[in-house]
Structure 1
Amino acid sequence: MNFSEVFKLSNQLSKFSPNGKFLASCIQYRLVVRDVSTLQVLQLYTCLDQIQHLEWSADSLFILCAMYKRGLVQIWSLEQPEWHCKIDEGSAGLVASCWSPDGRHILNTTEFHLRITVWSLCTKSVSYIKYPKACQQESLASFKAQFFTNSYPDPLQVLRSGISFTKDGRYMALAERRDCKDYISLFVCSDWQLLRHFDTDTQDLAGIEWAPNGCVLAAWDSCLEYKILLYSLDGRLLSTYCAYEWSLGIKNIAWSPSSQFLAIGSYDEKVRILNHVTWKMITEFGHTVTINNPKIVVYKEMEKSQTLEMENLPFPPTKAAASSLFNTESKYEVASSPVSLQTLKPVADRPNPKIGIGILAFSPDNCFLATRNDNIPNAVWIWDVQKLKLFVVLEHLSAVRSFQWDPQQARLAVCTGRSQVYLWSPAGCLSVQVPAEGDFQILSLCWHRSGNSMALLSKDQLCLCYLENAEIK
């Protein structure tokens, strides 16, 4: 495993282009585009204000930069660097911006979710979609709380739960709120014409998401009502599922890449798997504090201090040598059964309690499901989807910030806000120290489409990690 040099970064804004050739990153109001293979700067763009959101078009020809404080969006072209486009939403304000699947339309959501404005780069025409619903209330509250700071949540968190595109880019589903009632509208993305419009049997629609095959749309209610509804492309209700009736219901969902399974993460610390034939539950995965089954491997992160010999310390000490005095490395060790995992007691009198399944994701081959139970925050649970049972648990020294599957194979990368990156595959797991000067705290990561590298992002720095083909496959 090799690492690149460290580059400056703002707000963890760095993304690979969809075609895998470029890497875009933001430094305050500057947008830097690098060649992935050489990391040479290809283009440097200057925006009108600090960038709060960055997004590539699907064909990797354009880059969108959103500046929410100013209500501005700027679009830059890689083929024609002298060309650019500016969209000013004016007094309507701006809370979210994203590309349409064709990469030629931009969807801007105004403040208070009064409307969505669809801007065309080709015809310069403007369309308006009324009554969009602000589904992700937690993200919206976070956005408002941070509006006058330099730290912003992912703006697509506000949009993504209320807008969902089919994978082929043909259709868009939009959650709406009219006359105190929830609706869903289906649009044809080629001309933004309304295809279907129907109401939903929800008290407060929390999110919608298409299956990867684009045949089924999942819609779920707020956390106070456990209900998920499944609709066909023509708006027919295929099934309704409810696991229990007491408060705090669905927290997260994930479709398997094959669309055969729908995983529902709940506040009761369980994941329920529905099948695509009957839409009934085929199993549920519980996240217990103690693991008694000796057949389940539990990898536990252990820390080992690495200090320099004092007589070998140069004088005056360099930054690298000084930081090495306090440098710590870690490794995984197999824990003996039974294993008790570290728990976090949720604060009952505060909103959004740290309890339930906060993150879940299927591996690209449909064989594994990775989950994190928010009140056991240091652990990643990996389930065998074919055998419908727990396969392995990874317990770390710090709370898991995020994890992401390699796009090409069943290989999981994990970060915990420390200077290590963790990798797991069915062949084993490892912990690798980032050899950066100072304390490089990895807060998020993203894979390159090839699976041969990934970007590691700290608060104000970026580093690329290159993996050899033989590493823990």
Structure 2
Amino acid sequence: MVVRDVRTLQILQLYTCLDTVQSIEWSSDSMFILCSMYKRGIVQVWSLEQPEWTCKIDEGSAGLISARWSPDGRHILTTAEFHLRITVWSLVTKSVSYIKYPKEAKQAMHFTKDGKYLALAERRDCKDFISVFACNTWQLVKHFDTNTRDLAGLEWSPDSRVLCVWDSILEYNLLLYSVDGRCLATFKAYDYALGIKSLAWSPSSQFLAIGSFDQKVRVLNHVTWKTVVEHPHPSSLDSSSAVIYKEIEQKPQLLGHDADAPWPPTASKLMFTIQSKYEVVDGTVQIPTTKPDPDKANPRVGISLLSFSPDNRYMVSKNDNMPNALWIWDVQKLSQAVLLLQVGNIKSAQWDPHQPRLAMCTSSNKLYLWSPTGCVSVEVPAEASFQVNSLQWHPDGNAILLMSKDQMCVCFLADDS
């Protein structure tokens, strides 16, 4: 496990783990690092201030399928195999607490943003329940049942006042609860079809966006919990309704070859690069679509990516059967603002943590950035072929971590101010 300085990429610490590390996670104050080794049922914790300090958590015969920090950065929650229990380990007092009956779901637990409460989905006697725990004592403060057939996930609003709960994809069912367990509202858009695929709270907690398998985004308001706008994702779009940016690839250029040098050049110096730029489309554009296979589970259709910008001004969405398109909506005007059409399939897209600036990648050697001022395509300056498969913003928004299959690099963004 290697810890590097963000600016210089120099190695600060090097830790040797007992087995193959399958996941890592920083504590909230960046003082500790958690390394999970699920095959051996072990979690190792390392300290940056005291490299000689070590901690090992062994679940033993119970097995281990997940491990994560609590918001205070001093407790670790581990989940045993078959979801038999969740164990809370304290790094301060070395005490251990157990939580029974956790439900196996995509997002079965979620902490409030202020770190005071934990909501946990449970399954008892073939029925779904939710338990709310106080994170300072890990005592149960509220326990109530939910009107769900097969709870798929739960998430607190950013202001920690409302808990959103949704059912499995087989039934469109969304419920909103207060901290004390009162059901504030329910929402169901349609019946007898695949339901909710993604969900996102706005930073102000005023809006709740729901992405569905019917290729639509529905935005609810926090007063009545009714739909304020419904955003479709049509296969064609006119430039009169939104600004359309289309990526255009230019002819490949030969790099590493002097015009006066003999031809052909040696193979070791031969390297082609395909440059690209954005053009603003005027008129109607057809969006490439893929037909999902009805014989396969989890069809590639519906809204899989849904996220609000940090200033609450824009929202981005991606429809899975339109893998080359990214849709950006104006939250204030409740209308579409931008359509981005890429040459390759969009693999990842993330907002800058501090401003409405969107970064995305398409498994090419380029990083794409959008802001209200326009779009830009930046080539990753790597000697070998560097295909950006995923990216991660630095918390201050001044750098982006780009990751390929077996390489990484840090892209620093100059501050114009």
Residue type of the partner of 1:418?
Answer: S
Choose which of 334, 338, 344 in structure 1 pairs with 2:284: 338
| Corresponding position of 2:47 | 77
| Corresponding position of 1:141 | none
Matched, 1:307 2:254: yes
How far apart are 1:376 and its partner, in Å?
A: 0.3
| Corresponding position of 2:190 | 244
Q: 2:199 touches 2:210 (CA, 8 Å); kept in 1? A: yes
* CA distance, structure 2, for counterparts of residue 288 and residue 232 of structure 1: 36
For residue 39 of structure 2, give the secondary structure of its aligned residue in structure 1.
coil
Structure 2: gaps of 5 or more residues: none
Structure with higher RCO (Cα < 8 A, 6+ apart): 1
| Corresponding position of 1:106 | 76
* CA distance, structure 2, for counterparts of residue 220 and residue 295 of structure 1: 32
Matched, 1:403 2:352: no
| Corresponding position of 2:304 | 358
Provide closer, same or farther for how the CA distance between residues 317 and 70 of structure 1 changes in structure 2, counting only shifts above 3 A. farther
Matched, 1:187 2:157: no
| Corresponding position of 2:396 | 450
How far apart are 1:408 and its partner, in Å?
A: 0.8
For residue 91 of structure 1, give the secondary structure of its aligned residue in structure 2.
helix
Choose which of 404, 409, 417 in structure 2 pairs with 1:463: 409
For residue 307 of structure 1, give the secondary structure of its aligned residue in structure 2.
strand
Q: CA offsets, 1:309-346, max 9 Å, x none? A: 57566998485x32x2x221211111232000111110
For residue 89 of structure 2, give the secondary structure of its aligned residue in structure 1.
strand
| TM-score normalised by L of structure 1 | 0.85
Matched, 1:95 2:68: no
Matched, 1:432 2:378: yes
| Corresponding position of 1:227 | 173
Matched, 1:281 2:242: no
| Corresponding position of 2:163 | 217
Q: CA offsets, 1:37-61, max 9 Å, x none? A: 3222111111011111010000110
Provide closer, same or farther for how the CA distance between residues 114 and 341 of structure 1 changes in structure 2, counting only shifts above 3 A. same
Q: 2:244 touches 2:338 (CA, 8 Å); kept in 1? A: yes
Q: 2:239 touches 2:282 (CA, 8 Å); kept in 1? A: no
**Bigger mean CA deviation after superposition, 260-269 or 300-309:** 300-309
| Corresponding position of 1:135 | 105
* CA distance, structure 1, for counterparts of residue 95 and residue 40 of structure 2: 22
* CA distance, structure 2, for counterparts of residue 414 and residue 470 of structure 1: 21
For residue 80 of structure 1, give the secondary structure of its aligned residue in structure 2.
coil
Residue type of the partner of 1:459?
Answer: K
Choose which of 202, 207, 212 in structure 1 pairs with 2:148: 202
* CA distance, structure 2, for counterparts of residue 421 and residue 250 of structure 1: 30
* CA distance, structure 1, for counterparts of residue 377 and residue 216 of structure 2: 28
Matched, 1:121 2:67: no
| Corresponding position of 1:268 | 214
Q: CA offsets, 1:75-104, max 9 Å, x none? A: 000010000101111111111110001111
Provide closer, same or farther for how the CA distance between residues 313 and 115 of structure 1 changes in structure 2, counting only shifts above 3 A. farther
Matched, 1:373 2:343: no
Q: 2:110 touches 2:118 (CA, 8 Å); kept in 1? A: yes
**Bigger mean CA deviation after superposition, 101-110 or 462-471:** 462-471
| Corresponding position of 1:43 | 13
How far apart are 1:397 and its partner, in Å?
A: 1.1
Residue type of the partner of 1:190?
Answer: N
For residue 69 of structure 1, give the secondary structure of its aligned residue in structure 2.
helix
Q: CA offsets, 1:452-472, max 9 Å, x none? A: 11100111111000111239x
How far apart are 1:36 and its partner, in Å?
A: 1.8
Q: 2:239 touches 2:281 (CA, 8 Å); kept in 1? A: no
Q: CA offsets, 1:255-285, max 9 Å, x none? A: 0001000000000000000001111110110
How far apart are 1:195 and its partner, in Å?
A: 0.7
Matched, 1:167 2:84: no
**Bigger mean CA deviation after superposition, 358-367 or 90-99:** 90-99
Provide closer, same or farther for how the CA distance between residues 241 and 313 of structure 1 changes in structure 2, counting only shifts above 3 A. farther
**CA RMSD, 1 decimal:** 1.5
For residue 207 of structure 1, give the secondary structure of its aligned residue in structure 2.
strand
Q: CA offsets, 1:274-314, max 9 Å, x none? A: 00111111011000110024241111111121224575669
For residue 75 of structure 1, give the secondary structure of its aligned residue in structure 2.
strand
* CA distance, structure 1, for counterparts of residue 260 and residue 65 of structure 2: 54
Q: CA offsets, 1:227-272, max 9 Å, x none? A: 1100001111000001111220100100000100000000000000
**Bigger mean CA deviation after superposition, 114-123 or 309-318:** 309-318
For residue 344 of structure 2, give the secondary structure of its aligned residue in structure 1.
coil
* CA distance, structure 1, for counterparts of residue 88 and residue 321 of structure 2: 40
Greater than 2 Å deviation, 4+ residue runs? 292-295, 308-319
| TM-score normalised by L of structure 2 | 0.97
* CA distance, structure 2, for counterparts of residue 316 and residue 53 of structure 1: 44
Matched, 1:294 2:240: yes
For residue 112 of structure 1, give the secondary structure of its aligned residue in structure 2.
helix
* CA distance, structure 2, for counterparts of residue 425 and residue 35 of structure 1: 28
Same amino acid, percent of matched pairs: 61
